[in-house]
Amino acid sequence: MNAIEVRDLHKHYGSHRAVAGIDLQVREGEVFALLGPNGAGKTTTTEILEGYRQRDNGTVRVLGQDPGTAGRDWRATIGIVLQTATDAAELTVRETIKHFRGYYPNPRAVEDVIDLCGLREKVNARVRSLSGGQRRRVDVALGIIGRPRLLFLDEPTTGFDPEARRQFWDLVRTLSGEGTTILLTTHYLDEAEALADRLAVIAAGRIVAEGTPRTVGGRDRAPATVSWVDGAGPHEVRTTDPIGTVVQLDGRGGISGLQVRQPSLEDIYLDLIGASA
Amino acid sequence: MTTALALPSSTTALPSTLRTGLSRGGVELRMFFRDKGAVIFTFSFPAIVLALLGSINDEPGPGSPMSQVLAASMIAYGILSTAFISIGTGIANDREDGTLKRLRGTPVNAGAYFIGKTVLVAVASLAEVALLLAVGVLMFDLELPTDPGRWLTFGWLLALSIVACTLLGIAASGLARTARSAAAVLNLPVLVLQFTSGVFVHISSLPEAMVRVAAFFPVRWMGQGFRSVFLPDSMAAGEVAGSWEHPVTALVLGAWCLIGLVLCLTTFRWTDKRAG
Ligand SMILES: Nc1ncnc2c1ncn2[C@@H]1O[C@H](COP(=O)(O)OP(=O)(O)OP(=O)(O)O)[C@@H](O)[C@H]1O
Ligand SMILES: [Mg+2]
């Protein structure tokens, strides 16, 4: 069964088409990343899947149910980390997590979640007093306390320092290892590359490319860049046969600073976004 | 891929609405009393106003001194403040800071959320009334009744007033576009009604038309009701009808409970409607 099934999804605000026909399948147990520029429609799509917003058209199945009408039992099986929130300011971190634990039939242990989310040092601090990145970790903690089968993460690592980001990646891998399906929205391409089994790039409300981080947008077939410096200065060529190019250069001599680069996910992404704009 | 999932099937039952609601009540109370701004401005404010107004109007006259009349009437203000205003601003805040949105994404339902708010209002209102009575007794020699009949009146009056104000506060929370404007939006009717209903000034000194209009709203009846509990019966002569009018009071407050309920059920939104 697919955890998420979306066909021909549409949503507009006034005359603005925020989502203009999206098809999406996320398999159970998969980590799926949504990429795309600001305003592409990622949050709109995610919040329709979470049951917050009503769609104008299309069919949506999330864990087998229509999020627009699903009930409490369904909500107990999903976890949500929203893009923005500033609530629960006067409670401490532990109180907040403990309180949310009580909402679920089969929750994780509070202390486990505190450790998983790197909140141990701040357990007794009021949420109001936390830094942006620490606040975000609380959001993540509240998203996973209920042991969801499907976890939505909308830009979860915004404001994380590099170490916290790596810890968060480990957390996602742990959850994924336990079988949790994860739909992740992010602007960090290294994050998508590190975590996602598959990903889709959205631009202007449509999916412009879909695949694994290695193959999306024809990345595996795209030309590599070979660059070097010789007596005449620096050179750079794009070629589908980088080995051949290097062998040719070998015959010439006087070459320094030789580099062969496959296109990064970022190169592919920027090409896709540029082409669709 | 579906086979080796280490996830438990959701065979365990969801926590009941009541249990979740009471747990929410606990955190609502903690959050309210930890927020110093709320404690000072919503909670202590009626007591401060009573202390000031009572001290200004403390000369003895015929019957009970005006300070005692104020002390009784201002219980209505206390309930308006902890039930109507703080619930209304509280929900507007919950809508704006994402509390309601986050809850909407969990198994918490509206029932549990409102049970939590009810616990908050009940505890805060009782504490508020106790504080006002303490000021009345300590500063203005208000005498607490010994007759159980009066306490019975106090009981139903308190219950009807709290329920009506809370429901109306919930409904009114939707009127404010932002949490910041909510305090102003909710304070305006409270202040206007208190002046026109004889809470801040003696009702016998108000123009007749004003008194007639105010009689449609709950504040007039709350004030009159609480005066009937804490002032001697001889003071009933100073009321509009020359009596305490308990049956009408119960009827009007009961009607506002119903109106409030209908308004809540028809207007409550989890999120701001502009959120899509
Ligand atoms: N409630 C709303 N009312 C009107 N327009 C909206 C609403 N929500 C989103 N939009 C518009 O829909 C488009 C898609 O917004 P959305 O929030 O889905 O983008 P996003 O891909 O999540 O962007 P970001 O990367 O900045 O988070 C934007 O043009 C936005 O202005
Ligand atoms: Mg977004």
**B85-104 tens-digit pLDDT:** 888 888 888 888 889 999 99
Please report which confidence band the pLDDT of residue A233 belongs to, taking 50, 70 and 90 as the band edges: confident
Residue A103 within a domain = yes
| Across A239-258, average pLDDT | 85
> CA–CA separation, A148 vs B104, rounded Å?
15
Please report which confidence band the pLDDT of residue B65 belongs to, taking 50, 70 and 90 as the band edges: confident
> Considering chain B, what is the average pLDDT of its residues?
86
> CA–CA separation, B31 vs B267, rounded Å?
25
Is B99:B105 a contact under the CB 8 Å cutoff? no
Tell me if A52 and B271 make a contact (CB, 8 A cut-off).
Answer: yes
Residue B1 has pLDDT above 60, yes or no: no
Give the minimum alpha-carbon distance from B24 to chain A in angstroms, rounded to a whole number: 8
DSSP A65: B
Å from CA of A109 to ligand 1 middle: 35
Tokens standing for residue B175? 């009127």
Is the C-beta atom of B34 inside 6 A of ligand 1? no
- Tokens 């999916």 sit at which residue? A207
Identify whether residues A122 and A31 lie together within a single domain. yes
Instruction: State residue A221's pLDDT score.
Output: 84
Is A45:A12 a contact under the CB 8 Å cutoff? no
Counted residue by residue, chain A has a size of 277
Identify whether residues A237 and A131 lie together within a single domain. no
List, for residues B73-89, the tens digit of each pLDDT value. 999 999 999 899 888 88
Tell me if A30 and B1 make a contact (CB, 8 A cut-off).
Answer: yes
Residue A90 has pLDDT above 60, yes or no: yes
Is the C-beta atom of A67 inside 6 A of ligand 1? no
Instruction: State residue A133's pLDDT score.
Output: 85
Closest Cα partner for A86 from A140, A135, A119?
A135
Residue A157 within a domain = yes
Residue A271, CB-side half-sphere exposure with 13 Å CA sphere: 13
Residue of A87, A174, A176, A178 for testing the chain B interface, max B β-carbons within 10 Å:
A87
Residue A177 has pLDDT above 60, yes or no: yes
- Tokens 């009689």 sit at which residue? B215
Identify whether residues A79 and A160 lie together within a single domain. yes
Residue A7 has pLDDT above 50, yes or no: yes
Identify whether residues A27 and A159 lie together within a single domain. yes
Nearest ligand 1 atom, CA A47: 18
Identify whether residues A129 and A237 lie together within a single domain. no
Contacting A with CB below 8 Å, chain B residues are 1-2, 4-8, 10, 12-15, 19-20, 23-24, 26-27, 30-31, 34-35, 94, 97-99, 101-102, 104-109, 271, 275-276
Identify whether residues A193 and A241 lie together within a single domain. no
| Across B25-32, average pLDDT | 92
Q: What's the pTM value of the predicted model, to 2 decimals?
A: 0.84
Identify whether residues A131 and A231 lie together within a single domain. no
> CA–CA separation, A196 vs A190, rounded Å?
10
Instruction: State residue B6's pLDDT score.
Output: 44
Pairing of strands A150-154, A181-185: parallel
Please report which confidence band the pLDDT of residue A47 belongs to, taking 50, 70 and 90 as the band edges: very high
Nearest ligand 1 atom, CA A202: 21
Domain holding A245, by residue range, is: 223-261
Strand, helix or coil at A101?
helix
Apex A91 CA angle, A90 and A97, nearest 5: 150
List, for residues A209-227, the tens digit of each pLDDT value. 999 998 888 888 888 889 9
Q: Which amino acid is at B75?
A: I
Tell me if A105 and B101 make a contact (CB, 8 A cut-off).
Answer: no
Identify whether residues A191 and A210 lie together within a single domain. yes
Residue A268 within a domain = no
| Across A166-180, average pLDDT | 92
CB contacts, 8 Å: A73 with chain B: 10, 14, 107
Residue A266 within a domain = no
Nearest C-alpha in B relative to A27: B1
| Across A228-234, average pLDDT | 88
**A30 touching B, CB under 8 A?**
yes
> CA–CA separation, A151 vs A146, rounded Å?
10
Instruction: State residue A141's pLDDT score.
Output: 94
Identify whether residues A142 and A174 lie together within a single domain. yes
The number of distinct structural domains making up chain A is 2
> Considering chain A, what is the average pLDDT of its residues?
91
Residue A75 within a domain = yes
List, for residues B107-134, the tens digit of each pLDDT value. 998 889 988 998 999 999 999 999 999 9
Residue B136 has pLDDT above 60, yes or no: yes
Instruction: State residue B194's pLDDT score.
Output: 86
Please report which confidence band the pLDDT of residue B61 belongs to, taking 50, 70 and 90 as the band edges: low
Please report which confidence band the pLDDT of residue B7 belongs to, taking 50, 70 and 90 as the band edges: very low
**Which of B98, B108, B109 lies at the smallest CB-CB distance from A85?**
B98
> CA–CA separation, B77 vs B222, rounded Å?
9
Strands (E), chain A: 2-13, 16-27, 31-35, 57-62, 78-81, 150-154, 181-185, 198-203, 206-211, 224-230, 233-239, 256-261
Identify whether residues A236 and A149 lie together within a single domain. no
**Which of A13, A44, A82 lies at the smallest CB-CB distance from B101?**
A82
Q: What is the CATH classification number for the domain harbouring A12?
A: 3.40.50.300
Which of residues A187, A217, A247 is at a domain's end?
A217
List, for residues A109-120, the tens digit of each pLDDT value. 999 999 999 999
Identify whether residues A185 and A116 lie together within a single domain. yes
Identify whether residues A153 and A212 lie together within a single domain. yes
List, for residues B194-231, the tens digit of each pLDDT value. 888 888 888 888 888 888 888 899 999 999 999 999 99
